[in-house]
């Protein structure tokens, strides 16, 4: 319907605002920190972990905090999200600084741990952004930008790892990718900071240089060998 279209356009606008905030923070030396509980926390950590190999950035540039600590990534800690003070403390223990961006992730937008983290982020001068599937969530008054894709009722009632989790994953992909594009880590649609850390990636790096220069794979490999396998140097 027309109203659904307007809702989707609004979400795109909010994603664009969030990407601009993240890229601007990174250009000033800031970091992107995802915070969530359960599925939402795991999705944040996954997106953070994939940024260094994809974009060749430092592991500290994008990071993730999950309620219950690192062990909650592999085994559910069901009550970890229930304490707002733990969320505030996690921000301090992680060393979040003014100028960083903290993205809180919660399907319903009411997990106390995440709310506490967002409140603490604002207190210390970091930029709080919310990702939820509830447009009327508690994130809205706490965040500079709230992104709230509508997914409707879950296939299995209450199982927010399904539709809500999938939507959140898509949004996180757009936030990190959009920011990295603005930071110059992508040329056209190619990963020009890609690190050749295994055989597959070595071949992909050669293909990227060959595509950009219009030369053969052999000449592209020679360029890379002469430039320490740094794509941007090899294509100069």
| Whether 81 is catalytic | yes
Given the residues 13, 14, 27, 50, select the one marked as catalytic. Answer: 50
pLDDT tens digits for 39-59?
A: 999 999 999 999 998 898 999
Instruction: Give residue 196's Cα distance to chain centre.
Output: 22
Residue 236: band (very low, low, confident or very high) from pLDDT cuts 50, 70, 90 = confident
pLDDT exceeds 70 at position 8? no
DSSP state of 230: -
Taking each continuous run of H as one helix and of E as one strand, the counts in the chain are 8, 7
What is the rounded distance in angstroms from the CA atom of residue 62 to the CA atom of residue 21?
14
Taking 60 as the threshold, does the pLDDT of residue 118 lie above it? yes
DSSP-assigned letters across all residues of 194-215: ----SHHHHHHHHHHHHHHHT-
User: What is the rounded CA–CA span in Å between residue 90 and residue 159?
Assistant: 26
| Tokens standing for residue 11 | 């979400």
Pairing of strands 127-131, 145-147: parallel
DSSP states of 120-136 as a string?
HHHHHTPEEEEE-S-TT
**pTM as predicted:** 0.91
Quote the longest CA-to-CA distance of the chain: 58
In this prediction, residue 9 carries a pLDDT of 61
Q: For residue 93, count other CB atoms closer than 10 A to its CB.
A: 11
50 is annotated as an active-site residue: yes
- Distances in Å between the Cα of 149 and the Cα atoms of 41, 75, 136, 194, 205 are 17, 27, 11, 31, 35
Over the stretch 95-106, which tens digit does the pLDDT of each residue have? Answer: 999 999 999 999
Burial category of 155 from C-beta neighbours within 10 Å (exposed 0-12, middle 13-18, buried 19 and up): exposed
The residues, ordered by sequence, that sit 6+ positions from 170 with a Cβ below 8 Å of its Cβ are 149
Asked if 23 and 178 touch (Cβ cutoff 8 Å), the reply is: yes
- Given the residues 14, 81, 84, 221, select the one marked as catalytic: 81
**What is the per-residue pLDDT across 134-186, written as a single tens digit (0 to 9) for each?**
999 999 999 999 999 988 888 888 788 889 999 999 999 999 999 999 999 99
């Amino acid at each position: 319907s027309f109203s659904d279209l307007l809702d989707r356009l609004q979400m795109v606008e909010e994603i664009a605002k969030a990407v601009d905030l993240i890229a601007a923070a990174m250009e000033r030396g800031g970091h992107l920190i995802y915070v969530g509980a359960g599925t939402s926390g795991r999705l944040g950590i996954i997106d953070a972990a994939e940024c260094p190999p994809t974009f060749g950035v430092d592991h500290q540039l994008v990071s993730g905090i999950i309620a219950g600590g690192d062990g909650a990534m592999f085994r559910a800690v069901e009550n970890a999200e229930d304490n707002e003070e733990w969320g505030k403390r996690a921000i301090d223990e992680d060393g979040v600084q003014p100028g960083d961006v903290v993205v809180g992730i919660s399907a319903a937008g009411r997990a106390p741990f995440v709310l506490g983290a967002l409140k603490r982020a604002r207190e210390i001068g970091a930029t709080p952004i919310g990702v939820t599937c509830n447009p009327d969530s508690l994130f809205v008054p706490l965040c500079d930008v709230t992104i709230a894709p509508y997914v409707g009722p879950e296939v299995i009632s209450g199982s927010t790892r399904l539709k809500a989790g999938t939507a959140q994953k898509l949004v996180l992909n757009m936030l990190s990718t959009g920011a990295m594009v603005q930071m110059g880590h992508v040329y056209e649609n190619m990963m020009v900071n890609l690190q050749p850390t295994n055989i597959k990636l070595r071949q992909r790096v050669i293909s990227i240089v060959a595509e950009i220069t219009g030369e053969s794979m052999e000449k592209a490999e020679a360029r890379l060998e002469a430039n320490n396998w740094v794509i941007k140097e090899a294509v100069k």
